[in-house]
A and B are shown apart, each in its own frame.
Chain A
């Protein structure tokens, strides 16, 4: 998977200086995309409560809208390979990703990053006064 393909699949475009043709790396472990962090489920003593999960559609799910609806983080997966379960409490995490094949996070400024098959908690970076709008 490369950035150009991710852009094609979603309605989200990325800044033109980001390399479109190189393969997006798939990471099997803790990783961050800007203000979003993907944490292996196993790192949690008490994982967040989760609501009902749903399949990630072909065009992806916007996990975080970003300020003014711009700069969303979009979860992209092949149909039938990934579920998304929003967490009950945003303080603990945005939700849980469960995937049987590599899935991707796409962001206009940060580009793309791959998540290896597994179970992951997605959480947003915080500041003393609240969450970071990035």
Chain B
């Protein structure tokens, strides 16, 4: 379980590298807007539950109303985002992260 110690300058060099910046961009450009999106969508749902009760009570299918459908859609969107993130990470993040990790760990001390 020994953790290899590296000269900090190695990390600064890696941080400044094109490849690492690409990894960071792929990570942030996906997760930050998605976080903003799901939080807004969730808050919209809570706000509608507080201030648009007539709308939430409109029946769509038998006794199933808009509020219930929007709530179930929160489940659907959560499952979908989890899956989409997993795919994005496998395709865009893992290969670059593995490459950089192997490169640093292979460097002579």
A-B complex is real: no
User: Which chain B residues have a beta carbon within 8 Å of chain A's beta carbons?
Assistant: none
Q: Which A residues contact B (CB, under 8 angstroms)?
A: none
